[in-house]
Chain A
Amino acid sequence: MTEIVSETATGGLTPEQVESFKENGFIGPFDLYGEDEAPLLWNQAVIEMVTSKNKPHDSTIINYDRHLDCDTLSTHIAHPTIVNKLRSLMGDDIICWKTNIFEKEPGESGTGWHQVEAFIVYESEDVAYPSLRYTEESKAATQELTVWTAFSPADKEHGCLRFLPGSHKQWYYDETRPLGRDVESKNHDFFGYDYSELQIDKDWDPNKHEIVDMGMKPGQFVIFLAKCVHGSHPNTSSDKRLGLASRYVSPSVKVYENIDSLTGFGDTINLDYHGSVLVSGEDKWGHNRIHETNLNGFPFPRVKTDEH
């Protein structure tokens, strides 16, 4: 199998940035693409989404994992500028297990505060499985990270991300409980769900916590723990906000161990297509299916480490 090895690792986080991440649960923004370049890259990805011969799934509602069939996004998730910063926090061995497209139309409301770690999936009202199962302790700062890249303006007016710094140190929400969906309700501001239903201490008010708005220019990205409580502002601009979240774990983490399909937002997708992408290091564990190429045959790039 052809393997493209991109540039040798450089550009990791400084010790001060690592400490800041440990304290706050997020770090950024960082420059990745030029302001004019990022929207064109997204447009190219859209062309590839439309013309793809082998889509991961047919859903137009669940927009997961288009890095598995769009060459532009296949390249993006393994970009050395991203991966080398992840290595500073996770160690050399890293897989990308999921991507989500986050579009926010003009006038669309903000996304409510939420906090996850295992990404619980409900098979039925009573049966739930974690998307991620951690199999061993790690000396790294974390085994799970999300990178959110802006492909359009993503400042406060456009509905930027916002974080509660330090909130990753404790659970404010119980992600193991099910949520009811109601797209008509204004309280259901987490993609049709009311995440505050999961709040552990009903008297706790996230809006009284210190809040950091993560305004980003097109082409910038932020790294964060999904366990760090986060949400977004409404989009009060006249432009669509475009972001891509790429999610990474150590290959020691079992991905979708007991999960064959995903249901949400009124649709279901089968996970037969799914595989993770090794973006750095090696997979010593063999827990997960690893895709060497995307579904259209494009070889995934991989950042070369000192050992490999």
Chain B
Amino acid sequence: MSTDDYRRKLADFLTKQPETSGLAHERVLAAQTRQDLGISSLTMVLLLTHYVEQYTDNTVTIRPEWVSRLGDVDGIASVLREIDAASLAPAQH
């Protein structure tokens, strides 16, 4: 999936979460930073736990180095990409 695909995946995901259900899909696609979306840093980590639960059935542990990248939307999308990759990693061995 490309970076744009992950932005769309992020938008799809956020608009379905209780904490961010008021967000419009287009707003997520246009946003540059997490602040643009009105999401606090702690809420963003909480949303990441929802993502891990939903897309990996909690087989992936959130890594501290990911937290530093949750300030901008491209960083968040890149973390989603790494979570997906980490969830697939065991199957490749």
Contacts and interface: CB of A to CB of B under 8 A. Distances in A.
A41 B64 contact: yes
A270 interface: no
B42 A49 contact: yes
A46 B41 contact: yes
A138 interface: no
Nearest to B46: A50
Contacts of B46: 50
B65 A43 contact: yes
Contact residues on B (Cβ < 8 Å of other chain), bracket: 10 to 19
A51 interface: yes
A41 B68 CA distance: 11
A228 B65 CA distance: 36
Interface in A43-66: 43-44, 46-47, 49-51, 60
B42 A46 contact: yes
A44 B64 CA distance: 5
B60 interface: no
A39 B68 contact: yes
Given A46-B41, A46-B42, A60-B42, A51 B49 contact: yes
Contact of B64 (A40, A50, A60): A40
B31 interface: no
Interface of A: 39-41, 43-44, 46-47, 49-51, 60
Interface string B51-74: 000000000001011111000000
B45 interface: yes
26 contacts: A39-B68, A40-B64, A40-B65, A40-B68, A41-B64, A43-B64, A43-B66, A43-B67, A43-B68, A44-B64, A46-B41, A46-B42, A46-B45, A46-B67, A47-B45, A47-B62, A47-B64, A47-B67, A49-B42, A50-B42, A50-B45, A50-B46, A50-B49, A51-B49, A51-B62, A60-B42
Contacts of A46: 41-42, 45, 67
